[in-house]
Structure 1
C-alpha cells in the first residue's frame, strides 16, 4: 500500500471513529488481511509478518525464519552462518526477518484490506449492539413494527431488530406495519448474523415496567410493586405497597381521574388492570387480591398457604370471576390456594367451587405468562 493510500487509511480511521471502534482493531484487521493475501497469491508456505504504517498506510512484508545449525526447509529456516553474515549477533533459535514485499502487491492488498476491514467493522458493530441490548434484558423498549413472517413479528429498534414470537404475542392483538409498540426484552442471543433480541408482550415484567415508567412514585421507590399476575390481553392484577403512610399506593398508580392506569390499559389494547394494596397480613392481602369483590372473612392457614374465603351471596360470582378468572389471578398474585364460599354455603357447609392454587391458576391460563 503506497503513500497514495493515505486517504484510504484515513477513511477507515474515520469509519472506526463513527462506529465507536478503536483504530487499532482496524489496523489489526488490515494486517491480518495482508498476511492472508500474501500467502494466497505469493507463498502459502512462508511464515510472514506485515508491518503497517498507521499514518501513511505503507506496508512491508517480512518472511520470518528460525535460525538453526542444519537447514532442512529454507522457506522457514536459515543457517546460523547465513544469519551471521547479516548480523553477527544472531544465535541458534533466534528469529530473523527478511523483507519480501512484492512490487505489485499494492492492488491486491488494497482490495483484500477493504473486504476484511468492512467485515471486522460489521462484527464490531454487532458486538457493540449485543452489549447494549444484553445489558437491557428485563427492560422495556419501544420499536416500530416492520413486518410479519411465519407469525413472527419483527420490530425495528433503530440499531437492531427484535422478534416477537407467537407465544409472546397477546391473543387477538393486531400488529400492523408502522405501529409503535412497547415490548419487554426476555433474551438477547449472540448469533453470526448479529444479536437476536427476543421480546414479549405477555410477560408480567412488561406490566411492571409500564407502571415504573408511568408512575413517578414507583420509579422513585416511594411505592413498591410487590407482585404481578396476568392473563395477557384479558385481565391483570398488581399488588402495590408504600412504607410512607401518607402515600396511597393504589391512588398513585391509578392517577388523577385514572389517567396513569388508563395509559397502560391503552398500551395493552384494553387489558383490564386491578390495582390492589399489598398487606403483610395474609388475610387482608387475599381479601384485597379478590377485588372488586367484597370479602366477609378469610381463614388463612399460613403453614400450608391455604385460605378459606367467605363472601356475601351476591358477591360469589364476582369473587370467582368469569370462568374463574378473578380467583385464578388472586391465587397467582398472592401465592396462596384460595377456596371461595358464599355465606350460605359456609353456613351450611355446602360444597362450593374447588379451591384454586397458584400452580393451577398458572396451568389454567389460556396464554402462558412467561
Structure 2
C-alpha cells in the first residue's frame, strides 16, 4: 500500500492535472532549498533525492548530495574570486525587491562570464582528494549528512518553493494544452470585465478578449455563453496569455465549417472573407465540383445554415458571393445583391469601374458605402460604382471621377438602401427566407444572408 505522503502527492497531481513526477521533482527542489537555507553554503550545488515510501515524517527517505563537474586545474587570483562573489550577491529590481529565481539567473550568468564556478565545478586535484580515480568532465556526487529536522525558516522556504513550482508546472500544462490550437472555435463563458478587457472562463484557464477582439455592439455580461476563436497563446511572466477573438474573419470560416458539412469536407471552398464586425461580412465561395451550388450549400434549406452563423455572430449580416477566377465576374458577384450592367478594368491603376442601373446605385453602394467598401476588400480591386448618367462612388471619397459632388448621392444611398433591398427583384434565397416567419426578422436578403 502506498504511503500517506505518496497518496498526498498523487492527489495534488490529480487536482492540478500535472504528472506525479512533476510533483516529486517539486518536493525534491523544495527540500534542496530548505537544506541550503539551514545547512548549505553558496558553493554547494545541492541535489536531493526523496523516496516518499521511506519517509518517516522527519528525514527518512531523504538523501542530500553536493554535485559538481570535474574540470582541469586553474590558477585563479583573489581578484577573480572577488568578482565572482560580487556576481553571486543577491540582486534587486528597480523597485528594490529581490529578484525571484535569483540563484538560477546567477548560475547562468556565471557559466557565461566565469570559466570556473566553485558552486558547480571542482578542480581535478581537489576531486582526486575525494575520489582518487576521478577524471575530467565526470559528475561527482558527494553525499552530505541529513539533519534530524529542518528549522522553521527552512520549512517556510520549502513551502514557498513548492507553491511556486506547482504554479509553474500548472501553467506549463495549461500552455501545452492550448498551444497549437490557434484558429480553433471554442465554446466559452464570459467571466467578468476588467476595464476594457473581458475575461473568459476556459475551465482550468482564463482567456482574454482585448478591445480590438470585441464587437462594439455586443455586451459581454458575466455568464454569457458565446463562441470565440482561439487567436493566440503566449507564455508570459505571469503565465500563459490565451487571447480570443470575436472580430477575426477566421471566426466566420470556423463557423461555416461547423454549420456547413460541404465546407468541412472540402466540397465547398472559402476563398476569402472580409468583415466589418457586428455589421456585415462578405464570404467568397466556390466549388471544384460543378454539380454543387456553393451559395445554396452555404444558405441551406430555408436559410437555416446561414441563419445559424448569423445568430452566433450576434445578427451580423453575411453576404455569400460566388468566387470567380475572372476579375470582372468576381467584382460583379462581390457587389451582390445589386445588379450590375458592366465592369471595366484599368489594369495599370488596378481600378474597376462598375456601371449599375440608377435604381441599383444605392444598393450597390450600401449604407455609408459599406457594400462597395467590402467588395473592394474582398476582391483586392479599387472599385468605383457609376450609375447610368455618369455619377460615381467608391465608398471612400466624396468626389469620384465625375466632377460632381457625390455627398448628396451618398446620403440618399444611406437612407434608401433598405428600401432598395426590399424593392430589388427577389432571388431564390430571398424567397426561401421570406417564407420562414421565425427567422425573417433577422434574415438578410438573398446573398446578404
Return the TM-score normalized by structure 2: 0.68
What CA distance in whole angstroms lies between the structure 2 residues aligned with 1:316 and 1:273?
20
What CA distance in whole angstroms lies between the structure 1 residues aligned with 2:126 and 2:386?
102
Matched, 1:329 2:326: no
Cα distance per residue 1:35-92 (max 9 Å; x no partner): 2111111233462442322543411224569999xxxxxx9999999987x98x5569
Q: Matches of residues 217-256 of structure 1 in structure 2 within 5 Å?
A: 217-256=262-301
Matched, 1:352 2:352: no
Cα distance per residue 1:87-121 (max 9 Å; x no partner): 8x556988572431111239887765554334323
Cα distance per residue 1:171-211 (max 9 Å; x no partner): 22111111101112222221233211122211111111111
Shift of residue 122, structure 1, vs aligned partner:
2.2
Shift of residue 142, structure 1, vs aligned partner:
1.5
Matched, 1:53 2:51: yes
Q: Secondary structure at the match of 1:344?
A: coil
Q: What is the number of equivalent residue pairs in this alignment?
A: 341
Aligned counterpart for 2:236 among listed residues 187, 191, 200: 191
What CA distance in whole angstroms lies between the structure 1 residues aligned with 2:203 and 2:273?
30
Return the TM-score normalized by structure 1: 0.81
Residues 214 and 6 (structure 1 numbering): CA distance in 2 closer, same or farther, change over 3 Å? same
Shift of residue 133, structure 1, vs aligned partner:
1.8
Give unpaired runs (5+ residues) of structure 1: 69-74, 346-350, 358-370
Aligned counterpart for 2:245 among listed residues 177, 182, 200: 200
Q: Which residue of 1 aligns with 2:20?
A: 23
Q: Which residue of 1 aligns with 2:304?
A: 259
Cα distance per residue 1:235-281 (max 9 Å; x no partner): 11110000111111101111110011111111111111110011111
CA contact (8 A) 1:240 1:276 kept: yes
What CA distance in whole angstroms lies between the structure 1 residues aligned with 2:319 and 2:122?
80
What CA distance in whole angstroms lies between the structure 2 residues aligned with 1:313 and 1:64?
87
CA contact (8 A) 1:327 1:356 kept: no
Shift of residue 31, structure 1, vs aligned partner:
2.1
What CA distance in whole angstroms lies between the structure 2 residues aligned with 1:320 and 1:258?
25
Residues 303 and 280 (structure 1 numbering): CA distance in 2 closer, same or farther, change over 3 Å? farther
Give unpaired runs (5+ residues) of structure 2: 56-60, 74-118, 398-449
What CA distance in whole angstroms lies between the structure 1 residues aligned with 2:23 and 2:367?
63
Residues 341 and 14 (structure 1 numbering): CA distance in 2 closer, same or farther, change over 3 Å? same
Q: Matches of residues 1-370 of structure 1 in structure 2 within 5 Å?
A: 6-16=3-13, 19-45=16-42, 47=44, 48-53=46-51, 55-57=53-55, 58-62=61-65, 89=132, 95=140, 97-105=142-150, 113=158, 115-345=160-390, 351-354=391-394
Q: Secondary structure at the match of 1:318?
A: helix
Q: Which residue of 2 aligns with 1:72?
A: none
Structure with more strand by fraction = 1
Root-mean-square deviation (Å): 3.3
Q: Secondary structure at the match of 1:243?
A: coil
Deviates more, 1:108-117 or 1:206-215: 108-117
